[in-house]
Every structure is written in structure tokens, then in C-alpha cells.
């Protein structure tokens, strides 16, 4: 049986003096007579002959190598391997062997040079829903004023921090979290191992979630206004933390001055056909504004209007550029429902405008991190480099949910085995360059989903397995606030409970696990930047390795009964394995795993 091994990292891919050397390992009884590297020169398929090395890297393993010029051409280097015998051929790609040439976008890919923000791969992100994380000590009475919430048809509700959250008035219920509260809790986040923050919207808006923007140029007074964001930017820099904002550019709120639904005689677009912003929104023949998914309070912006394009991203003083510049100096944007943004009340020319947002961000701050929210397949945007990365629901969160919690985002049953789970994850990864994979935004849950703990239900013992997977899988891990201390909750608004600062209400063992895994990731180049090698995926057990140069990290996930797994891979031979986390034993190719457990070993 023929076997092949290749990862798009050292020692299989090395770069020296603008020369890229690619190596393939093969083992089996019927080795090919020739091996060709299928690469590209200016998008043209180009075969390069690989040379079989005289020295075996491991007993019974042959190595084939070729060096190509990397000094010019497109930065994304796509390649696969064509194996030739006298009467047949086979191809080897990230998804294994094939009897026919692979699609162009499902081959190995490395970005050389890499134009993306290099710093992202080294981070541990923390997502904060500002109203529910921390209330500052010096919060003013004005920040707690009560007002009429038009979209809900009621006054907002003010609650004390430890009052229970209920589904009633979800978008109108405030607990008083603010940006100074976040600043005060940065030492806690530092101890957790967090190095970067992603904040849900902070700009002026009437709802608690702030996705109904009233003013993109100012921070909401409830959160402390502009001065509080400046203080947070200052304190995060003191702590060496990055800070990313949420950009809601698909729609505004209906209270925004551009639209102004609730002032009949205003210059806003809603009631005034002569408004300068009338063309910034789309209207039906009977004069009704087209909104986002039936929410009248969220009228969609129309990017066929030059004014919208200039205001959001193109002009020198655009919103995208404004917050990336000093004194704000934000590190990037998360783009809300960005796949739906476009012209004419829909998503026409979407890719053009998403790419324009990223380009404006890069012109203003070259290392800005621009990533999109996509519950569906994000690869169209990533392959076109319209985004640096995406929230990795499709390639990480959903397959992990199906394997560990037996459910999908709709609460429909989805029971899959390890082989199916890994096939799902690997199929998604195969379409992305190695560097893009490292920047994908991985989460167990978010403000838009049930908490992972609640999804697990009676299988809550599997929670640590998901946490280990989050910190060890390719991509940047993001902790949704409170997950680390065991906060639960079903769909919005119940997934947005106030953070339990009373330590008696915290799962301290879970918190300690998060801290240890964040520390392990910080210590390991392989976990942050290595390739991913699937070692075993059968039944209830997944085993994978992260590899970079001589460093290897071996991760085992067992959702079922006690298991024994035989591990045979030339990529794992040699070195001294040290168990660094979890339950299990690994000696002489045999792995013993405890029931419902994970284990991590490391070798350098």
C-alpha cells in the first residue's frame, strides 16, 4: 500500500535565498518510477521533475525533492504531486491520493511572501460583549440613563449585575458593562493568557448589542464615550494586547442621521426623498426601505451610491480608515455579515466592496487584521484575498459541535464519527493557503450561538476536549467571554449573560485548564505556526500532530470509552515525547486513552 507525507512547512518546505525547496516522502511496495511537482508560473500549470534522494529520512521511506525559483510571480504558490508508473498515474494533495488531477483550489498552498498580518497567528483572542463583561468602578449616573427604545417599543431595562438574565426584552436589557470595566479587568485577561481583544460593536446605538449603528464616528455614552475607548487603547498597549473592533457596514440603524426614521421632518433618507442620503439606501416602489432580514430597524446600505462607498471605506476620512489611525490605532476589523453587503438592497458586487474595505484598511495600516463573519463557506472571499481570514464556523466550530455535541447550529441532530469530522475539517482547510489557515478565527461559540457548554447537555464532560481542540487546531483561538469559567446559555439573548466575577460562581478547574493551554500555545511554535498531520480518525478518537521543523505536538481526543490506538507515522519517529496535558499514555507506538478525555504530548 502506497503512503505519502507532506506538510507545507519545514522540513518539507524550506526557503533560502528566494529558492523554495519542496520535499515529498513516500513508502510502499510499488513506488512510482517518476514524481513530478505540479506548480504554476503566472497561473499556467507547470510540471517540475523531482529527484529521489539517495538517503532515506526514515527506514523504508523515500524522499523526493525539487527546488523552484520563488523570486517572482504570484505570492500564493499552489502545488501538488503527480506520481507516475509505466502504465498509470496518481496525484497527491492535502486530501490524499486521487486518480485524476486535483482542482486548482484544493492543492497545497503557501504564501511566499506572505502579505497578511503575521502577528495574528501568535495571539489568543478574547471576545467581549461590552455590556456584559465588567462594570467600571467609576461609572457615572449618566451612563445608566433610561430612554425609549423605538425598535422594541419600550423603555430600556436596567438590571443589577447579578440579577438573572431572561429572554424578555433581550435587545433592551442593560447591565452596565463598559470600556473602563474592560480596562480594569486587563490583569485578569493577562493571567488567562489573552493577548488580543475583539469587541462587539462599541459605537452609538440604541440597543444593547449595538448592531443598529446610530453614529459610526463616536463610542456610545453607555460604554464611556470616545474617552473610554482611548483609555482602553492605552491600557491594552501597556499590556501588549491587540484590539480589534466590530464593523457593521451591511446596514445602519434606523436612528442614524443618514436614515432617521423617528423624525418625520428630518433631512434623513427615510421620510425625505430629496435627502442627500436617499440613494444610500434602497427603497421599494411603495417607498419602503429594504432592510436586513426583515428587521425594519436595520436598513441596508446601498453600495451603488458613491457616498456610501466613500463614507464607509474609500475616502481618506472614511470610517474604516478613521479608527485604524492614531490616536485610536486599532489593530483591525471584524466585518459583520460581510457576505451580504452590496448594491441595490442585496449583495451585488459584494466581493468588489469587501476587497475595497480590506484594501483601505491595508493602505491605512498595513498590518491590520480584516476578517469576516461567515456562517457559511467563506473560501470564495479568502481565495480572492478579499479578507485576511474568517470566523471559522464552517471549518472548525460546526464539525467540532457535530462530533462532540451531536448537533448543528439549528439544534438539528448531527451524529458523525471521527473519520467524518476530520474529512469535513480537512476538506475545508485544503482550499486555503497555510498562512490563511493559521489566521482563521476559531471559536467554540460566540454571541450569535448557544454556549458550547449548553450544546453539550448531558455530555458536558466533553467540554475540556473542545477546549484542547480549540488551542491546538490550526488557526487563532478566540475565547468567548465567560467560557473559561463555565458560563452557559442557549441562543441569543441567553448566551450573553453577565460575567460572574464572584469566584464562587466560577469553574476554577476549567479556568486553570484554559490558562495552561494558553501557556502551552505561547511556548510552542508548532501549535502557532506548524502544519497539521492527521494521525488517526476512527470511531470516537481523533489524533493529530502539529509539526514545525523538529518540534512536534501530538493531540488525542477521545469522546468515548477507554481506547487503545496504535500510532505509526514516520513524522513521529524519534525524539523524546513528554506528556504536557490531559490523561493518557504513549509508549512504543501505543496510545492508551482514558474515557472521555484528551491528552497532549510534545517532542522537540
pLDDT of residue 588: 86
Least Cα distance to 14 among 73, 82, 87, 63 occurs for 63
Mean pLDDT, rounded, for 343-364: 98
Whether residue 196 contacts residue 179, with contact meaning beta carbons closer than 8 Å, is answered with no
pLDDT of residue 574: 87
Cβ contacts of 410 within 8 Å, gap of 6 or more: none
* Residues carrying an active site annotation: 336, 373
pLDDT of residue 261: 97
Neighbouring-strand partners of residue 155? 148
Least Cα distance to 474 among 515, 523, 529 occurs for 529
Mean pLDDT, rounded, for 53-73: 95
Residue 394 pLDDT more than 90? yes
Measure the CA–CA gap between 302 and 345, rounded to whole angstroms: 6
Whether residue 382 contacts residue 389, with contact meaning beta carbons closer than 8 Å, is answered with yes
Neighbouring-strand partners of residue 601? 554, 579
Confidence of residue 225 (pLDDT cuts 50, 70, 90): very high
Cβ contacts of 371 within 8 Å, gap of 6 or more: 332, 333, 334, 335, 387, 388, 389, 390, 391, 439, 441
Name the average pLDDT for the chain: 97
**C-alpha 283: how far from its chain's center?**
34
Q: What is the pLDDT of residues 3-50, one digit of tens each?
A: 999 999 999 999 999 999 999 999 999 999 999 999 999 899 999 999
Q: What is the pLDDT of residues 544-588, one digit of tens each?
A: 999 999 999 999 999 999 999 999 999 999 889 999 999 999 998
Mean pLDDT, rounded, for 180-203: 98
C-alpha cell at 558: 477521545
The DSSP bridge pattern shows strands 541-548 and 531-538 to be antiparallel
pLDDT of residue 253: 98
In the chain, the percentage of residues whose pLDDT exceeds 90 is: 98
Cβ contacts of 262 within 8 Å, gap of 6 or more: 150, 254, 255
pLDDT of residue 532: 98
Residue 114 pLDDT more than 90? yes
Whether residue 182 contacts residue 172, with contact meaning beta carbons closer than 8 Å, is answered with no
Confidence of residue 274 (pLDDT cuts 50, 70, 90): very high
Q: What is the pLDDT of residues 465-500, one digit of tens each?
A: 999 999 999 999 999 999 999 999 999 999 999 999
Amino acid at each position: 500500500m502506497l503512503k505519502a507525507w507532506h506538510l507545507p512547512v519545514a522540513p518539507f518546505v524550506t526557503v533560502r535565498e528566494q529558492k523554495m525547496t519542496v520535499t515529498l516522502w513516500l513508502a510502499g511496495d510499488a513506488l512510482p518510477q517518476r514524481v513530478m511537482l505540479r506548480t504554476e508560473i503566472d497561473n499556467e500549470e507547470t510540471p517540475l521533475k523531482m529527484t529521489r534522494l539517495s538517503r532515506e529520512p526514515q527506514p523504508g521511506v523515500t524522499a523526493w525533492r525539487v527546488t523552484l525559483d520563488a523570486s517572482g510571480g504570484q505570492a500564493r504558490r499552489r502545488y501538488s504531486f503527480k506520481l507516475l508508473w509505466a502504465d498509470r498515474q496518481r496525484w497527491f494533495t492535502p486530501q490524499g491520493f486521487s486518480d485524476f488531477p486535483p482542482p486548482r483550489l484544493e492543492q497545497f498552498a503557501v504564501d511566499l511572501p506572505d502579505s497578511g498580518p503575521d502577528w495574528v497567528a501568535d495571539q489568543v483572542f478574547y471576545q467581549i460583549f461590552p455590556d456584559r463583561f465588567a462594570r467600571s468602578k467609576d461609572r457615572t449616573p449618566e451612563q445608566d440613563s433610561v430612554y425609549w427604545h423605538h425598535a422594541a417599543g419600550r423603555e430600556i431595562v436596567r438590571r443589577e449585575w447579578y440579577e438573572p438574565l431572561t429572554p424578555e426584552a433581550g435587545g433592551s436589557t442593560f447591565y452596565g458593562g463598559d470600556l473602563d470595566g474592560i480596562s480594569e479587568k486587563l490583569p485578569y485577561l493577562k493571567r488567562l493568557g489573552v493577548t488580543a481583544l475583539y469587541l462587539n460593536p462599541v459605537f452609538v446605538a440604541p440597543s444593547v448589542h449595538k448592531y443598529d449603528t446610530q453614529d459610526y464616528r463616536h463610542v456610545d455614552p453607555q460604554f464611556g464615550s470616545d474617552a473610554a475607548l482611548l483609555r482602553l487603547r492605552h491600557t491594552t498597549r501597556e499590556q501588549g494586547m491587540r484590539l480589534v473592533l466590530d464593523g457593521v457596514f451591511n446596514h445602519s440603524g434606523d436612528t442614524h442621521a443618514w436614515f432617521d426614521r423617528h423624525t418625520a421632518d428630518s433631512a434623513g433618507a427615510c421620510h425625505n426623498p430629496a435627502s442627500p442620503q436617499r440613494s444610500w439606501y434602497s427603497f421599494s416602489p411603495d417607498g419602503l426601505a429594504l432592510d436586513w432580514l426583515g428587521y425594519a430597524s436595520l436598513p441596508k446600505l446601498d453600495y451603488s451610491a458613491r457616498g456610501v462607498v466613500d463614507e464607509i471605506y474609500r475616502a481618506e476620512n472614511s470610517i474604516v480608515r478613521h479608527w485604524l489611525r492614531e490616536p485610536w490605532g486599532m489593530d483591525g476589523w471584524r466585518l459583520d455579515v460581510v457576505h451580504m453587503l452590496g448594491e441595490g438592497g442585496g449583495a451585488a458586487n459584494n466581493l468588489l466592496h469587501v476587497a475595497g474595505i480590506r484594501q483601505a484598511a491595508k493602505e491605512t495600516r498595513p498590518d491590520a487584521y480584516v476578517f469576516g463573519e461567515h456562517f457559511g463557506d467563506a473560501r470564495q472571499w479568502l481565495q480572492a484575498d478579499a479578507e485576511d481570514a474568517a470566523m471559522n464556523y464552517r471549518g472548525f466550530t460546526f464539525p467540532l459541535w457535530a462530533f462532540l455535541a451531536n448537533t448543528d447550529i439549528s439544534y438539528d441532530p448531527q451524529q458523525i464519527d471521527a473519520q467524518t469530522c476530520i474529512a469535513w475539517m480537512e476538506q475545508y482547510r485544503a482550499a486555503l493557503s497555510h498562512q490563511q489557515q493559521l489566521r482563521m478565527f476559531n471559536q467554540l461559540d460566540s454571541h450569535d450561538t448557544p454556549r458550547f457548554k449548553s450544546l453539550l447537555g448531558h455530555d458536558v464532560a466533553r467540554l475540556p476536549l473542545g477546549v484542547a481542540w480549540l488551542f491546538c487546531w490550526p488557526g487563532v483561538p478566540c475565547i468567548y467571554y465567560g467560557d473559561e469559567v463555565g458560563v452557559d446559555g442557549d441562543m441569543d439573548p441567553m448566551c450573553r449573560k453577565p460575567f460572574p466575577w464572584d469566584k464562587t460562581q466560577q469553574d476554577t478547574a476549567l479556568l486553570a485548564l484554559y490558562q495552561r493551554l494558553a501557556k502551552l500555545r505561547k511556548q510552542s511554535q508548532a501549535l502557532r505556526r506548524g502544519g497539521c498531520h492527521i494521525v488517526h480518525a476512527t470511531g470516537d478518537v481523533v489524533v493529530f500532530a502539529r509539526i514545525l521543523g523538529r518540534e512536534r505536538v501530538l493531540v488525542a481526543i477521545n469522546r468515548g470509552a477507554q481506547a487503545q490506538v496504535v500510532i505509526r507515522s514516520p513524522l513521529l519517529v524519534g525524539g523524546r515525547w513528554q506528556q504536557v496535558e490531559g490523561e493518557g499514555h504513549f509508549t512504543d507506538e501505543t496510545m492508551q486513552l482514558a474515557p472521555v478525555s484528551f491528552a497532549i504530548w510534545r517532542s522537540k
